[in-house]
Amino acid sequence: MGVRIKIENLDFYYGKFKALKNINMNIYDKKITAFIGPSGCGKSTLLRTLNRMNDFVDGVKIDGKVLFDGIDIYNGGLDPVELRRKVGMVFQRPNPFPKTIYENIVFGLKNNGVKDKKILDDVVERTLKGVYLYDEVKNKINKSALDLSGGQQQRLCIARAIAMQPEVILMDEPTSALDPISTAKIEELLLELKKDYTIIIVTHSMQQAARISDYTAFFLSGEVIEFDETSKIFSVPRDKRTEDYITGRFG
């Protein structure tokens, strides 16, 4: 099984605060990896480290390596803009641009100089179909994306991310603001998307991690306490702290 991202001896500081401590982990290709743990445990920090989103935060210092296909993304191996094209991101709250559905999807491509309308039209149709949104919006793709429901907006954000043909998609609690039906649709979508993409998802829902992920990492106070196949983490965790967290004894 291929390793897409290899994290080696990673320490992460916000100023003096050490938010991640000696993280070592493999992210496997075309699998869904879930990060779970109580608030403030470092899971979102690690997620944002993988496409250098933390570069914009003051006082951040990183030791160790993050290897993307063997290339060290922090030591000059890969241009951050190129990295973020390869590693897309979807956030907790749907955040479409205040533009049309169409413009949301082609935004990244246009910024990268793609002007051919036929290519752009094709991408819009393909990605909307890819996130199972096409039938719902095909008659209003030139209307504002803000008119869509929350669940539709989130699927649009995923479509926007995959329009750039990334290799990895990072998701930070992508369904926490959605109702159960929209959540189920996103989960089904992720199971489809993992045929083509490597997905990492931060989630506070144990059931969501159990339902959709192949691997799960449990974080506590900046450390990865346990990383294993999801079925093992939720049936026979090795560490008592993992067991206590997933069974709701603390957290």
Partner 1 sequence: MLREGFDKRISGLKDKVFQMGNMVDSLISESMEALLNQDLEAAAQIEKKDDKIDKLEMEIEGECMNLLTLQQPLAGDLRLIAAALKIITDLERMGDHAVNIAHVTLEIGKEPFIKPLIDIPKMADYCHNMIEESLNAFANADVEKAKKIAEMDEEVDKLSDRVFEDVIDIIAENKGLLKQGSKLLFIARYLERIADHTTNICERIIYMVTGVYKEIN
Q: Contact residues for partner 1 (CB under 8 A)?
A: 206-207, 210, 234-237, 242-243, 246-251
Judged by beta carbon, residue 1 or residue 236, the one nearer partner 1 is 236
70: left (phi over 0), alpha (psi -120 to 50) or beta: left
Judged by beta carbon, residue 75 or residue 207, the one nearer partner 1 is 207
With the C-alpha atoms ordered 105, 107, 112, 117, is the resulting torsion angle positive or negative? Answer: positive
Give me the least distance between CB of 201 and partner 1, in Å please: 18
Give me the least distance between CB of 19 and partner 1, in Å please: 25
**Cα separations in angstroms, 205 against 2, 36, 154:** 27, 8, 17
Q: Under a CB-based contact definition with an 8 Å cutoff, are residues 46 and 36 in contact?
A: no
Q: Integer distance in angstroms from the first to the last C-alpha of the chain? A: 33
Give me the least distance between CB of 200 and partner 1, in Å please: 21
Give me the least distance between CB of 213 and partner 1, in Å please: 14
Judged by beta carbon, residue 133 or residue 206, the one nearer partner 1 is 206
Say what the alpha-carbon torsion angle 189, 190, 191, 195 is, to the nearest 10 degrees.
Answer: 100
Give me the least distance between CB of 237 and partner 1, in Å please: 5
Type and span of the H or E element at 19: strand 17-28
CA 101 to chain centre: 21
Judged by beta carbon, residue 24 or residue 231, the one nearer partner 1 is 231
Alpha-carbon span 123 to 108, nearest angstrom: 11
User: Based on the number of CB atoms within 10 Å of its own CB, is 18 exposed (0-12), middle (13-18) or buried (19 or more)?
Assistant: middle
Q: Under a CB-based contact definition with an 8 Å cutoff, are residues 133 and 156 in contact?
A: yes
Judged by beta carbon, residue 212 or residue 246, the one nearer partner 1 is 246
Give me the least distance between CB of 214 and partner 1, in Å please: 17
Judged by beta carbon, residue 139 or residue 235, the one nearer partner 1 is 235
Give me the least distance between CB of 150 and partner 1, in Å please: 24
Judged by beta carbon, residue 180 or residue 248, the one nearer partner 1 is 248
The DSSP bridge pattern shows strands 198-202 and 168-172 to be: parallel
